[in-house]
Amino acid sequence: MNDATPVPHDAIVVGLDGSQPAATALDWAAEQAALEGRPLVLVHAAPPLGAGAAASLGSLGVDTARLREEVLSDAHALLDRAAERVADAHDGLVTQRLALVADPRQTLLELAAPDRLLVVGSRGMGPVRSLLLGSVSLALTKHAPGPVVVVRPTEGPRSPGGVLVAVALDGTDAPVLDLAFRFAATRGLPLTALHCFWDMNEISRGAVDVPDDEPGLEELRDRLAAALADHRAAYPSVPVHPQLTRGFVDARVLDATRRADLVVLGHQPKPRLGELVYGSVAPQVVEAGQCSVAVVGRPEAAG
């Protein structure tokens, strides 16, 4: 397929830049596409020259139009290699390639949609370097009006492993649970449904997971069970463990990334001032988490 082919609405789209983290993301995205029978779109966007850089190169006699053609040629070659890697691992998987000279963040944001999964790799840069250099993964998880997976490689098996989904119990959990159960079902993984709460009367206990038999929390357990009921019925093969945990949401979810294979959570973009003052759990988990993270944005609130 060529670059002019429309991207299918249900595609899995993976952003590539030739790095090892991107190769890891490619392998994850290809496996998921094969498991679900979805088309896979391979995207490489090479950042364009700024006006100042183009003028400077032009003054030195550099043919910037030819330079752009060479950049595009390299982009197509990169995607050809990626397509070969996918074909070797998943014979018959439908793939599409999209190479262009454009801002990678803007390109992937324009491809985002509620039914379309975006996948990118994690460079593990840490908060300071991300602040200075920018981060495609953070831009996507903050602003994409649909699900984004940031793939982070892990060493060795996790205990207990599986998919962990953060359940807010605020009426916005349905799309987050949809994605979490979908991943657990297609990959044959158990699912932990985590709800975090802060109990001022129990502050001395610190931030801990609550034992399943701890008394006094029956109402909260009932609410969590009710939130999971429809999805458990739709995915009867998925083992589910409802888990209450006590403490701050960001700290408890970050702690969970040490033990899970994949964490799934929602993100409600905030006004600029609100984000500055209060922060947001999803970007923090993407930045500092120790496993792959899936973030489900809400189209009506994205901006």
* Assigned token pair, 155: 């060493």
Mean pLDDT over 79-92 rounds to: 97
Please provide the DSSP assignment of 208-266 as one string: EEPPTT-TT-HHHHHHHHHHHHHHHHH-TTS-EEEEEEES-HHHHHHHHTTT-SEEEEE
* Beta-bridge partner residues of 163: 191, 262
Percent of residues, the chain, with pLDDT higher than 90: 58
Q: Which pLDDT tens digit goes with each residue over 27-56?
A: 999 999 999 999 999 999 987 655 555 456
* Beta-bridge partner residues of 120: 150
Put residue 37 in one of left, alpha, beta given phi > 0 → left and psi -120 to 50 → alpha. left
Give the pLDDT score at 280: 74
pLDDT at 279 over 60: no
Give the pLDDT score at 136: 85
Q: Which pLDDT tens digit goes with each residue over 115-173?
A: 999 999 986 444 434 333 337 888 888 888 899 999 998 877 888 899 999 999 999 99
Give the pLDDT score at 99: 94
Encode burial over 247-279: b for 16+ CB neighbours within 10 A, e otherwise.
bebbebbbbbbebbbbbbbbbebeeeeeeeeee
Instruction: Name the nearest CA neighbour of 96 among 31, 18, 43.
Output: 43
* pLDDT range class, residue 5, cuts 50, 70, 90: confident
Give the pLDDT score at 202: 58
pLDDT at 12 over 50: yes
